[in-house]
Structure 1
């Protein structure tokens, strides 16, 4: 039976949901409040260069991403590159990310290096994350690596990404982040990451074309005001003062938006959604005339910098100029998040000049700031116990976002895989 299905959100999860619905013979209508598809993978014109608002990369373990590229006939656009990591510590740029770099790292005892390396290795070999689900992350890391390695290599990541949430995070969630990068390598000495020719637009355009050419529809600049529920069953969508009937509704927008959009859920469930926490981001994107360093990742531990690191994107995907992303993560209620963009831009210029003293003002060709209030869910110990099921208590209504593939961190591949699963489950 061909069902008429509303999909809310045109990020990777929403587009993958619509894609799978069409493959299974249904007719999806995708509602997107933004003027473009992509969500956090959406691109913009950065003074003549199409670039993502927020950086993305791909790992060799991204099976769902690679699978859909093959199905769409664009797998030849995926390129793999040897990338490097660095560490800015004690006013010194050091190599990072492999056993030799760890051994040579200045500012850490041999015992601390051994314990850190053992923990990283154990994370890449661990298969079962369930024992870590109810374990608090910072205590777990400290027990493995010791206070010295934690202070030097981990503390600022927690301080300047999670702020007041730093001491109540799931170890399973942190483990998945370590494991994903640790397993995307040529060998133990060389990291291997991927990018798409044309960036994320290549995938987004292919998904959009497939959906629209096969009977689906994507309505941009069309936010959903309300999901209409009557007698315990979904009835349709209200948008721009127009109500339309749908057999099923699948929401893929951030869960904090759900209470306002679907107010007819039970009070208990609405409270569950309201209690979920997210980290916001102010991401500064810089176009430079010259390279900051040769590293894709650059972790930072500097008392004069309120960031845990930065990403020099063009050390992965070559472009005509050098592109650097400097994300400032913080709770959206934090006072710093209320500061104007120029404050963050000024900081970034100071930080980049400190890391590479040869940079001068003329090397900064353009700078932009992107903000997102729901950049990342906060997953505390036992997170699944508090997360509402994707299948809601309302018949025909499914609600999910990147939280639902916990303990995996948010990513394009994970969103695609979960979106396709969501489509099948909702139609079962």
Structure 2
């Protein structure tokens, strides 16, 4: 068949790889100028690096298997990284169960209760049972109010803002249940996965075209071809189409009515700085900023996991956030935004000054974080659409997860198996 795939992220390229291997004529249309979607990369001193911090867990079998299939397994390493929490003006170690049981802002009884509630979430296998419960209410009851106030609520507010009280416990369960203490990273970056998938598609006669943002999709005759038009005016026909862009983009392209399920999902945008510094900024790989008044959610010093020698001696630091698309942190000029972040970076490291930053990069994405409320399940559309020739495989459909390379890969393979074979 002639198969069109909309989007060249993890889902789209994995599906294209599998479908091309099956002998189909595959064309991938990607709106951005690069492949990889939210795992797209830039370069730091000649080495590809993800625009938004990425790693995988030992539980991410779909991604690990794909890496092996592409011949990249020798480059995958799991690292024992460090985590900290910034609370009430102080940095606290939070890397191991021992650190958690010694966490000073909590009393011993609170620490034990926090540990027990986390162990419970690790033990529960079906997180969807928490779908209709609110995360803050659950942690206040089971982890205790003090642990909720110090640990969980600042993280939820930092990520979801005013929507934090509405977030489903299924979302928080997924964040705890599948995570492992060691983090996996590919020597040379995950960009290699996407270039290997691209090469695989091309070697089998497929095409991947960037700069082709979806404008319209229709199937006038249910038994006929699917018509796809991109914003540059190009038009193509396919026997089948797999759409991997966020629901709002698909809804616009199909002209779905306002009451259609496609319009129900809510998304936050993402903003992320990559700072190339001449020295270390924080003493951890990952630092949760547990202060709701802070303008960013987390600081990730990538070179606490990967040697600085990979990046010309630069210390690579991410400063990331999830915000509404009309928020000042999404709309402000990046140079000004970095200036406004400086006082907060100085709270994390009093010696820090912007002169440490030798170069910086800024990325923003409009649809990066679904807002997973108890009503979220009702906003998840089926893979089948109103057009017989069109299948939808998008971020919202990996519930109770909300994003992640491995879940995108797994969904791509499941959808190809179910709807294209």
Q: Which segment drifts farther, 377-386 or 214-223?
A: 377-386
Question: How far apart, CA to CA, are the structure 1 residues paired with 2:404 and 2:148?
Answer: 26
> Which residue among 195, 198, 204 is the counterpart of 1:208?
198
Structure 1 residue aligned with 2:347? 354
Q: What does the per-residue CA deviation read over 1:334-364, in whole Å, with 9 as the maximum and x for residues that have no partner?
A: 3543322234312333222322223344321
Return the alpha-carbon distance in structure 1 between the equivalents of residues 293 and 372 of structure 2: 28
- Cα deviation code 1:138-187 (max 9, x no counterpart): 11111111221111112221222111221222211111011222xx2xxx
Tell me if structure 1 keeps the 8 A contact 2:219–2:389: no
Using the size of structure 1 for normalisation, the TM-score is 0.92
Cα separation, 2, equivalents of 1:396 and 1:66:
31
1:47, 1:366 within 8 Å by CA — same for their partners in 2?
no
Matches within 5 A, 1:242-253: 242-253=234-245
Decide whether the 8 Å contact of 1:281 with 1:330 is kept in 2. yes
Which residue pairs with 2:28 in the alignment?
A: 30
Change (3 A) 1:358 1:335: closer
How has the CA–CA distance of structure 1 residues 297 and 17 changed in structure 2, closer, same or farther, with 3 Å as cutoff? same
Report what 1:397 is aligned to. Answer: 390
2:221, 2:20 → 1: CA distance? 29
1:89 paired to 2:87: yes
Give the secondary-structure state (helix, strand or coil) at the position aligned to 1:226.
Answer: strand
CA drift of 1:309 comes to: 2.2
CA-CA distance at 1:304 after TM superposition: 5.5
Which one of 190, 206, 212 corresponds to residue 222 of structure 1?
212
Residue 254 (structure 1) aligns with: 246
Equivalent position to 1:413, from 406, 409, 421: 406
Residue range with higher mean Cα deviation, 152-161 or 329-338: 329-338
Could you tell me whether the CA contact under 8 Å between 1:95 and 1:105 is conserved in 2?
yes
Shift of 1:118: 0.9
Going from structure 1 to structure 2, the CA distance change for 1:343 and 1:304 (only over 3 Å counts) comes to farther
- 1:47 to partner: Cα distance: 5.3
The yes-or-no answer on 1:330 pairing with 2:329 is no
The unaligned stretches of length 5 or more in structure 2 are: none
* Aligned position for 2:156: 158
Among candidates 171, 174, 177, match of residue 176 of structure 1: 174
CA contact (8 A) 1:255 1:400 kept: no
Match of 1:294 among 276, 279, 283: 283
Instruction: Give the whole-Å Cα distance in 2 for the aligned partners of 1:392 and 1:329.
Output: 29
CA deviation after TM superposition for structure 1 residue 382, in Å: 4.1
1:307 is paired with a residue whose SS is: coil
Shift in Å, 1:98: 2.1
- Whether 2:231 is the aligned partner of 1:235: answer no
Pair 179,303 (structure 1): closer, same or farther in 2 beyond 3 Å: closer
Matched position secondary structure for 2:4: strand
Q: Among 262, 266, 271, which residue is 2:260 paired with?
A: 271
The alpha-carbon distance between structure 1 residues 304 and 260, as it changes in their structure 2 partners (threshold 3 A), is closer
**CA shift in 2, pair 1:108/1:157, >3 Å:** same
**Could you report, residue by residue, the CA deviation over 1:231-288 in whole angstroms, capped at 9, with x for unpaired residues?**
445522123333322100110011111122122x5x37x6322221001111121111
CA distance, structure 1, for counterparts of residue 292 and residue 9 of structure 2: 36
Structure 1 residues 420 and 301: CA distance shift in structure 2, 3 A: same
8 Å CA contact 1:326, 1:348 repeated in 2 = no
Aligned alpha-carbon RMSD (Å): 1.8
Alpha-carbon distance in 1 for matches of 2:77, 2:184: 5
Q: Is the 8 A contact 2:285 2:305 kept in 1?
A: yes
The answer as to whether partners of 2:78 and 2:185 remain within 8 angstroms in 1 is yes
Contact 1:281 1:373 in 2 (8 A): yes
For residues 325 and 33 of structure 2, the distance between their equivalents in structure 1, rounded to whole angstroms, comes to: 23
Deviations, residues 51-71 of structure 1 (Å, cap 9, x unaligned): 211110011011011111111
> Tell me, what secondary structure is at the counterpart of 2:57?
coil
Aligned residues: 415
Segments of 5+ residues of structure 1 without an aligned counterpart are 185-190
TM-score, normalising length from structure 2?
Answer: 0.94
83-92 or 228-237, which moves further after superposition?
228-237
Q: Secondary structure at the match of 1:130?
A: helix
Q: Does 2:72 correspond to 1:74?
A: yes
Mapped contact 1:35–1:220 kept (Cα < 8 A): yes
